[in-house]
Structure 1
Amino acid sequence: MCGSYALAEPTEVLEDVFHVDVVGENLPVPSWNIRPTNQIAIVVDTIDAQSSTQLRRLESARWSLIPSWVKGEPPKFSTFNARSEDAAAKASWRDAVKSKRCLVPASGYYEWVVEAGVKVPHYIHSDHLIAFAGLYSWWRAAESDPWMLTATILTMPTVPELAAIHDRNPVPLPEQYWDEWLNPATVGTQELVDAAVAAAIPVASGFSEYAVNPLRGNGPDLIDPR
């Protein structure tokens, strides 16, 4: 699971880290309490129709993917996370696996652990910017509505180092795998997703974690140790 995360780095840092060519509009400001349906920053690679060149874009998306074939209201079930094990076979994700893969930048994420009968949030992080493997989709409720960019974060069975926190964790891709994951010329398959999970295991195994206070408000103090 990954139901809340933090991204403290501003747009300028994301541009530099991900070597972005095009910066989209209405990108969210740094936040330490990002929740499903919030706007989030995602990194995608696209092919320019006129020049046929590949461009890396930083865009704003709704966190909770809505497949383009959904009409009317968004689905009632949760779509902010996608299980990696069968992503290529599931109707909600398979089109995105094929051609709409993204990175979701994060400083860290939260999981809740029951301690003495109370759910306590733990902040799980690295010493550098994290790039979760994600999927995206363009959606609109009706033909008269504008298109909305939506996204989800892939999850995987937890690494042993985080097993005491939760039985699943997001898929954090190492930098050397970013180009492969984003390449729009690559037709995504379950094998590609499985390879991404394998590449993510050493990254997730290096994460650190500690307990924090209940997530109230939104500021850098949310990630202070409890």
Structure 2
Amino acid sequence: MCASYGLDPRFSDQQLIEEADDLLLEGIRAWARRNADETLRPTGRNLRNLNPIVLPGETAPTLELGWWGYLIDGRPSRFPSINTRSERLQERPGGLRGRAIVPATRWFEMQKPAGVWHEFGLAGSLFGMAAVTQRGRTEDGSWFTCYSIVMQPAPERLAGIHDRSPVLIPPAFAADWLAGAATSDLMTEALLASSDATGGVVATAMPSAP
């Protein structure tokens, strides 16, 4: 499970999406500066943080602030919804109807039973995590795009720390992920595209919880 991640504004200049407008990256960086590099956590009744996500637009991908986790009947869902298994989406591709890319520079997991937290990342580079989305409404009638980060089995070299890892979307596959047809083949292709990026992930033990 990915229950927290980070977005450092000092990320290296690189594409998150091929042929994306430079304003998209600047929007992500500006949000990260305002957020003061705080750890990003699921949105809830008391923690009303909204996090940047990239959504398909009419002519180009767009940046929006999304609600991490699903809203059901005006309230945060009672079932776990901050993550979705890639296997489930292959079996039930209807869950792929809404999709996003979540920009990040690292994510955090606890190694059990040792209880040691680890930071995972790509040496300070910006990367995109696959997410599925749906619209949700709060009790006061406000509507948000809610997102759930897609998780896959961790590669063998990382599985000793945590058994799951986010599906990373490389720039060359970003347009396909955002705008491709919602089929099980799309999820399979995303996993294949993710394999190279995941191969570069570095895990570092942390002295304390994020």
TM-score between the two structures when normalised by the length of structure 2: 0.81
Going from structure 1 to structure 2, the CA distance change for 1:31 and 1:77 (only over 3 Å counts) comes to farther
C-alpha distance in structure 1 between counterparts of 2:160 and 2:31, whole Å: 35
- What's the counterpart of residue 37 of structure 2? 31
Is 2:134 aligned against 1:137? yes
Going from structure 1 to structure 2, the CA distance change for 1:120 and 1:164 (only over 3 Å counts) comes to same
CA contact (8 A) 1:106 1:130 kept: yes
1:1-226 maps to which residues of 2 (within 5 A)?
Answer: 1-9=1-9, 17-18=16-17, 19-20=20-21, 27=31, 29-37=35-43, 38-47=49-58, 54-66=59-71, 70-87=72-89, 89=91, 94-95=94-95, 97-98=96-97, 100-114=98-112, 118-127=114-123, 128-141=125-138, 145-183=141-179, 186-215=180-209
Deviation at 1:88, TM superposition (A): 5.5
CA contact (8 A) 1:130 1:172 kept: yes
Unaligned 5+ residue runs, structure 1? 48-53, 216-221
Deviation at 1:94, TM superposition (A): 2.9
Deviation at 1:42, TM superposition (A): 0.4
Deviation at 1:141, TM superposition (A): 4.2
Question: Whose strand proportion is higher, 1 or 2?
Answer: 1
C-alpha distance in structure 1 between counterparts of 2:181 and 2:196, whole Å: 25
2:111 is paired with a residue whose SS is strand
Going from structure 1 to structure 2, the CA distance change for 1:87 and 1:61 (only over 3 Å counts) comes to same
CA contact (8 A) 1:2 1:81 kept: yes
Unaligned 5+ residue runs, structure 2? 44-48
Deviation at 1:105, TM superposition (A): 0.5
1:33 is paired with a residue whose SS is coil
2:73 is paired with a residue whose SS is coil
> Over aligned residue pairs, what C-alpha RMSD do you find?
2.7
CA contact (8 A) 1:10 1:30 kept: no
Q: Deviations over 1:19-50 (max 9, x none)?
A: 246769x9562534111114211011122xxx
Going from structure 1 to structure 2, the CA distance change for 1:42 and 1:71 (only over 3 Å counts) comes to same
Deviation at 1:109, TM superposition (A): 0.6
CA contact (8 A) 1:160 1:205 kept: no
Q: Deviations over 1:68-110 (max 9, x none)?
A: xx324232111110001112655xx835x12x21100110111
C-alpha distance in structure 1 between counterparts of 2:50 and 2:200, whole Å: 28
| Higher-Rg member (1/2) | 1
CA contact (8 A) 1:81 1:153 kept: yes
